[in-house]
Amino acid sequence: MFWLSLIQGITEFLPISSSLHLSLLSTWFGLSSIDLLTKTFLHVGTAVSVLIYYGSYIWETLVKRHYQTIIFYIAATIPVMIGGFLFKKYLDQTNTFLPAIVGMTGVLLLIADYCSKQTQHDQELTIQKAILIGLFQMLALLPGASRLGMCFAACRFLKMSRLQSFNISMLLSLPPSLGAFVLEYADHSMVPSYKDYGVLMTTSIIGLITLWIMKKYVPKVGFWIFGIYRMILSIILMGLMR
C-alpha cells in the first residue's frame, strides 16, 4: 500500500493523471486491482494535503468573506460536477482513445505555457474565467486526461501567472476529491479499515512534501517538461495497446 500512496502523493500534484498512473502501476507490476474505497482514500489523502497546505488561505477567504473569490471557486466547480454526474460512468468504459488523450493533453500544456510564458502577474478572479476553467476541467473526465493539467492550461490561456494557475488548480482539486469521499462513505456496505486510514495518512504526508516542492518549481519552470513526458507516454501506450 505504501507504493500506492507514493504514486498518488506525487502524481496528484503533477499534470500527468494520478488515476492513470495508479492503473498502470497495477497492470505493469501485477498488483491486485485497487478497490474503490482504497482509491477514494488515496484521493482524500491528497485532498487533506491541500487543506493543510492552503488552510490559512481558505480560512482567511471564508472568515473575511471574500465573496468574489468564493463565487469564483464555486462557479469553476459546477461544470465538472455536472459533467461527472452525467457522463463519468460512460467515459470510464472505454480506453480506445487513451494514448491520443494523453498526448493531446501534453501538447495543450506546451502550448498554454509557451503562449503565456511572459505572464508574471495575477489576474482578477471573475465568473467568466471560472466557467472557462470549469469547462476545461470537464475535459479531464476523459480517461488519461489530467484535471490539474487542464486547469493549469486554462489558467495560462487566461494570462494568469504560473503560481496563480498552480494555486487555483490545487484548490479546485478539493471539491471532486471530498465529494467522492462523501458519496463512498454514504455507502454503508463499504466500511473503512485501518489499512485505509493508513493509506490516507501516508498519502497526505507524501502529498505535502510534493506540494512544497512543486510550489517552488512551477513559478520558475512551468509544466512544459510534463507536456513532453505525456507525449512520450502516449507513444508508449500506443505501442502497448496494439
Q: Is the pTM of this model over 0.75?
A: yes
Is 22 a domain residue? no
Please give the pLDDT value at position 186: 62
Is 72 a domain residue? yes
Please give the pLDDT value at position 30: 65
SS3 content of the chain, % helix, strand, coil (to 5): 75, 0, 25
Query: Residue 41 CA to chain centroid, in angstroms?
Result: 15
Task: Tell me the residue range of the domain where 218 lies.
Answer: 2-11+36-240
Is 200 a domain residue? yes
Is 82 a domain residue? yes
Is 19 a domain residue? no
Question: Residue 92: in which H helix or E strand, if any?
Answer: none
- Total structural domains in the chain? 1
Is 212 a domain residue? yes
Is 16 a domain residue? no
| 8 A C-beta contact, residue 211 and residue 53 | yes
Per-residue pLDDT of the chain (242 residues; tens, 9 = 90+): 788 899 999 999 999 998 888 888 777 766 656 777 788 889 899 999 999 999 999 999 999 989 999 999 999 999 988 888 887 666 666 677 899 999 999 999 999 988 887 676 889 999 999 999 999 999 988 888 999 999 999 999 999 999 999 999 999 999 888 877 776 666 556 677 788 889 999 999 999 999 999 999 998 888 999 999 999 999 999 988 77
Is 48 a domain residue? yes
Residue whose C-alpha cell is 488515476: 19
